[in-house]
Amino acid sequence: SSSDISLKPLNYEQKDEKVAFSGGEFQLNADRDGKAISLSGEAQSGRIDAVNEYNQKVQLTFNNLKTDGSSTLASFGERVGNQKLSLEKMTISVEGKELALLEGMEISGKSDLVNDGKTINSQLDYSLNSLKVQNQDLGSGKLTLKVGQIDGEAWHQFSQQYNAQTQALLAQPEIANNPELYQEKVTEAFFSALPLLLKGDPVITIAPLSWKNSQGESALNLSLFLKDPATTKEAPQTLAQEVDRSVKSLDAKLTIPVDMATELMTQVAKLEGYQEDQAKKLAKQQVEGASAMGQMFRLTTLQDNTITTSLQYTNGQITLNGQKMPLEDFVG
């Protein structure tokens, strides 16, 4: 069945709070059993006015929000599919002055079934075309995160346990009414259920997490191969044995062009009130100092005017920028 959903314009006002919404047009499609669902549509604009903890007037606006996605119910009781959300522009203003402008945001996620529908491969892509803070151009960013080989039944068990624990927290007023304590307990619930997800020996890759400006692009690439700790019967005697229960291998590399970092720190210094010449001088000192310190402690190398760190781990051995050492020595 197909349903056209029209959200009417909204104008709400109470004391210092205002919400204005242009309305939107959406289309929902679902099969007879509700197993296959798709939703697409868009909203032109919205605005929220409020007062922050410092008694300052804050305004958030957005333009051209679009969404498009579909999902099906897998045999293990969880939904898989794809979802895309894009936003043309979002502004944040304080006391009438534009604090931040974000343009060209897009988030897309997808999950596919493999191995006869028993395993999930998922991917999340995020991109931001432009970030300006107080009219200073800080650049653009992107992230591609993949999590593969997730056991479907284990995912369902994780989801059920995590949801049950977080719902139980909401039933406790002393926790539910304390945002910091609630967040702490939610995090605990997440990590207590997390070992369930290691059943299928999942693989996590980040390729890349990057930030780019007019002078270059910094990037982090990482791959982490995990394993089910339940398959190891012996009790760990060392730190390496403890890590090896859950980690097969890690490979990570971070590259930061010096010119790119200097440009970014120049913009940050200008936000702090420094003039152009002072900001450039300060940024150069900061980046050179950080690079020198990284080399002194052998955490980074400098080659072709690029600060680099590479880290590999497998079987209790760390390789940092080409130098091998036991995990205990690295931590110590």
Looking at the 3D structure of the chain, how many domains does it have? 2
Q: Are residues 173 and 296 in the same domain?
A: no
Residues 220, 175: one domain? no
pTM of the model: 0.89
Query: pLDDT class for 116, splitting at 50, 70, 90?
Result: confident
- Domain final position from 194, 211, 227: 194
HEC per residue, 39-91:
EEEEEEEEEEEEECCCCCEEEEEEEEEEEEEEEEECCCCCEEEEEEEEEEEEE
Q: Give 260-290 pLDDT, tens digit per residue.
A: 999 999 999 999 999 999 999 999 999 999 9
Tokens of 35: 């197993």
Q: Do 279 and 264 belong to one domain?
A: yes
With respect to residue 223, please indicate whether it lies within any of the assigned structural domains. yes
Q: How far apart, in whole angstroms, are the C-alpha atoms of residue 280 and residue 269?
A: 8
Say if residue 101 is in the same domain as residue 33.
yes
Q: Could you please report the per-residue DSSP string of 194-255?
A: GGGGGGG--EEEEEEEEEEETTEEEEEEEEEEE--GGG--SPP-SHHHHHHTTEEEEEEEEE
- Same-domain pairing of 157 and 19: yes
The conformation of residue 235, written as its DSSP 8-state character, comes to P
Domain that holds residue 237: 201-332
pLDDT 10s digits, 225-270: 999 988 888 888 999 999 999 999 999 999 999 999 999 999 999 9
pLDDT at 331: 85
Looking at the structure, tell me whether residues 85 and 220 fall in a common domain: no
User: Each residue of 196-222: pLDDT tens digit?
Assistant: 999 989 999 999 999 999 999 999 999
In a domain? residue 219: yes
Based on the domain organization, do 155 and 222 belong to the same domain?
no
CB contact at 8 A, 299 and 324: no
Apex 194 CA angle, 125 and 156, nearest 5:
80
CA–CA separation, 144 vs 148, rounded Å?
13
| Judgement on whether residues 16 and 99 belong to the same structural domain of the protein | yes
Length of the chain: 332
- Residue 23 three-state SS: coil
Confidence bin at 71 (pLDDT 50/70/90):
very high
Cα(143)–Cα(126) distance, integer angstroms: 5
**Per-residue pLDDT tens digits for 88-98:** 999 999 999 99
What residues does 44 pair with on adjacent strands? none
Measure the CA–CA gap between 294 and 311, rounded to whole angstroms.
Answer: 14
Q: Are residue 67 and residue 184 in the same domain, yes or no?
A: yes
Q: 168 lies in a domain?
A: yes
Do residues 218 and 256 make contact, with C-beta atoms less than 8 angstroms apart?
A: yes
Same domain, 94 and 163: yes
- 3-state class (DSSP) for residue 245: coil
Q: What is the DSSP letter of 115?
A: T
Judge whether 137 and 130 are in contact, CB under 8 Å.
yes
User: What is the rounded (10 degree) CA torsion for 95, 98, 102, 104?
Assistant: 120
pLDDT score at 27: 96
